[in-house]
Amino acid sequence: MTFLLLPFWGQCFLAVVGAIASYVIWAQTYWARRGVPHTRPVPVLGNLWDTIRGRRSAAEILGEMYRRFDKYPVVGTYNLMRPVLLLRDPALVKQVLITNFSSFPVNEVVYPAGKDELLSENPFAADATRWKDMRLKMAQSFSPARVKLGFEDVRSSARALAALIASESGNSSMEASLLARRYTAHTSTRALFGIESHSLEIGQAPGVFYEKGHEIWNGNFISYFRILAFFNCPDLLPLVGYKMVNSDTVGFFRKLVVDSVEFRQKEGITRDDLVQNSAMLILKDGKIDEAALDTVTGKALTTFSETFETSAMATASALLHLAISPQHQDRLREELRGAFPDGNVEHDKLMELRYLDQVLKEVLRILPPVEVIRRRCEKTTTLQPEEGDAVTVEAGTAVYVDIVALHHDPAYFSHPEEFWPDHFSDEECESRPKCVYLPFGDGPRQCVGIRYAMQLVKVAVATLVLHFRLTPGPEQVLPVQRDPASLVLGIKGGIWLRFEPLDSQA
Ligand code: HEM
């Protein structure tokens, strides 16, 4: 009755508010209507709102749900108003990543071709059809033989890093993430273009390749909103725009590809790298094919940026954990000195070292650079947990795996909050179910750069542990805390280490 007494505009206003409220209630009762155990969302804002404010990471919030709903295989939650299914049971993780891959073949956000030089050419954001071809080509570039071929370049970069540290550290501490990014900028520039980046030059600034890597990962004010849309509301991307990398940086890599191809043509140089492969693709009758150049630039950006940040942070995090656990550092140095008495690492022996492998696996367990896997269901599918009722996932639903929560679950790791390389002893590994240790994901979409990344990290860590004793600097914030605002792994306050030179043959 009161409603009818309102003026017409008042009735319209109330009708609109009522319709919106009904939609929000309907959207945010998705899991309740399906009888799935679920969290109570903040109206409209859902459960991951703190990630938008940069207060907590998605992994932290999902981790709380993971622990709170410990009797259930899944938890229904909301990213703003979109329903998200958090998988708890490793049997379900295995079905989504591996055995039922055809129903979950894409990540949550798909970038259409040509929208962004970086993400449109990265298999990570490709739709199922474009992904197959991209993945195949990238996997060929990172085959075991190709990665091994690059070992010499990686080793000489690690030596340059050690020389830089020796000349600049003195008695003061150095920021290890910066050092590690200078190392990855240097190695990937060599591997991709066959040129010197000058990122590890003694007495010099980190250089333009370091700056480009930093720009790609830190973006600007506009890309910040696009990143928020990417993680929280992908439907907004067509409105806010897809471009994540600024045009100067794209132009820099584009020019680098063209200049390198032309220089090699002129000088008759051949070398098995991206430039050589690009030459075949971008030169048509002696002229540059612009469309092919876009694709090649995207590939260069993808490989450069993926290597720059994730591998650097894994390296820096390994150095930090060894610095704060001297007993593990000593044991590792003993193994390395036994294998390389002259202080020079070699490929085959390095890859076989048992304790080094355990240490790095543990580093990636305790602080995995990528925290959450976010897949999208493409075909309505019923999943069967280890125990309890089957769960039906409708097409279009986002499905998340919280890597951090699984890595810190005492059901799978005996000392979940400690740095404990024996988590990767044969005994502990044998008793662990599949799909609870996922630093590189799993299944057909598992990280394609895994071998290259592990080679980079192993060579740097082994070289530095052979040449320096590592201790935390006085600036180091302990206990170590992740920075929730970082896109991949960031450590609050940075990673401050002292490097005391050693006689590697002692
Ligand atoms: C320690 C370093 C690294 C870590 C921890 C890491 C981790 C990951 C993770 C967790 C994924 C998602 C896997 C999934 O969805 O199942 C991924 C995907 C990917 N990574 Fe890495 N990564 C690292 C280094 C690299 C490097 C060096 C490259 C390339 C040069 C690379 C290229 C990629 C690509 C292209 C994908 C998407 C694969 C696809 O969707 O098919 N990553 N990575």
CA of 429 to the centre of ligand 1 (A): 23
Q: What whole-number distance in Å separates Cα of residue 425 and Cα of residue 358?
A: 7
Q: Is the CB of 332 under 6 A from ligand 1?
A: no
CA of 96 to the centre of ligand 1 (A): 17
Ligand 1 nearest-atom number relative to CA 314: 1
b vs e for 15-29, b when ≥16 Cβ sit within 10 Å of the residue's Cβ? eeeeeeeeeeeebbe
Q: Is the CB of 117 under 6 A from ligand 1?
A: no
Amino acid identity at 434: K
Amino acid identity at 283: L
Q: Is the CB of 423 under 6 A from ligand 1?
A: no
Angle among Cα 348, 437, 308 to the nearest 5 degrees reads: 60
State whether the Cα torsion 143-146-152-158 is positive or negative. Answer: negative
Angle among Cα 408, 411, 413 to the nearest 5 degrees reads: 50
Per-residue model confidence as pLDDT tens for the chain (506 residues): 566 777 878 878 888 888 888 888 888 899 999 999 999 999 888 999 888 888 898 999 999 999 999 999 999 999 999 999 999 999 999 999 999 999 999 999 888 888 777 778 888 989 999 999 889 988 888 889 888 988 999 999 999 999 999 998 777 899 999 999 999 999 988 888 888 888 998 888 898 889 888 888 877 667 777 788 788 888 888 888 887 888 888 889 888 888 887 877 777 777 777 667 766 777 777 777 777 788 888 888 888 888 999 999 999 999 999 999 999 999 999 999 999 999 899 999 999 999 999 999 999 999 999 999 999 999 999 999 998 899 999 999 999 999 999 999 999 999 999 999 999 999 999 999 999 999 999 999 999 999 999 999 999 999 999 999 999 999 999 999 888 877 788 888 999 999 999 974 44
Q: What whole-number distance in Å separates Cα of residue 122 and Cα of residue 124?
A: 5
Residue 348: count of CB within 10 angstroms of its CB: 8
Ligand 1 nearest-atom number relative to CA 364: 5
Nearest CA to ligand 1 atom 13: 441
CA of 439 to the centre of ligand 1 (A): 9
CA of 450 to the centre of ligand 1 (A): 7
Nearest CA to ligand 1 atom 32: 449
Could you tell me the maximum CA-CA distance found in the chain, to the nearest angstrom? 93
CA of 179 to the centre of ligand 1 (A): 21
b vs e for 301-312, b when ≥16 Cβ sit within 10 Å of the residue's Cβ? bbbbbbbbbbbb
Cβ contacts of residue 42 below 8 Å, gap of 6+? 49
CA of 89 to the centre of ligand 1 (A): 23
Dihedral angle over CA of 57, 61, 63, 64, nearest 10: 150
CA of 306 to the centre of ligand 1 (A): 7
Q: What are phi and psi of 231, to 5 degrees?
A: -85, -25
Out of 99, 447, 457, 482, mutate this one to test ligand 1's pocket (max ligand atoms within 8 Å of CB): namely 447
429 is in an annotated binding site: no
Ligand 1 nearest-atom number relative to CA 369: 5
Ligand 1 nearest-atom number relative to CA 131: 41
Cβ distance 131 to 106 under 8 Å?
Answer: yes
Out of 111, 306, 376, mutate this one to test ligand 1's pocket (max ligand atoms within 8 Å of CB): namely 306
Q: Report pLDDT for 3.
A: 67
| Verdict on whether the full-model pTM lies above 0.85 | yes
- Long-range contacts of the stretch 136-141 (C-beta < 8 A, 24+): 138/299, 138/302, 138/303, 138/448, 139/448, 141/274, 141/277, 141/303
Which three-class secondary structure state does DSSP give residue 77? Answer: strand
Terminal-residue alpha carbon distance, the chain: 92
Cβ distance 299 to 159 under 8 Å?
Answer: no
Q: Which helix (H) or strand (E) holds 128?
A: helix 128-141
Q: What would the two tokens of residue 145 be?
A: 């033989």
Q: What whole-number distance in Å separates Cα of residue 420 and Cα of residue 144?
A: 29
Nearest CA to ligand 1 atom 18: 447
Q: What are phi and psi of 471, to 5 degrees?
A: -135, 155
Nearest CA to ligand 1 atom 20: 447
Ligand 1 nearest-atom number relative to CA 442: 16
HSE toward the beta carbon, residue 484, CA cutoff 13 A:
15
Q: Is the CB of 310 under 6 A from ligand 1?
A: yes
Count of all residues that appear for the chain in the document: 506
Q: Is the CB of 122 under 6 A from ligand 1?
A: yes
CA of 403 to the centre of ligand 1 (A): 14
Residue 428 burial (CB < 10 Å; 0-12/13-18/19+)? middle
| 398-402/82-87 β-pairing | parallel
CA distances for 148 relative to 151, 343, 346, angstroms: 5, 20, 11
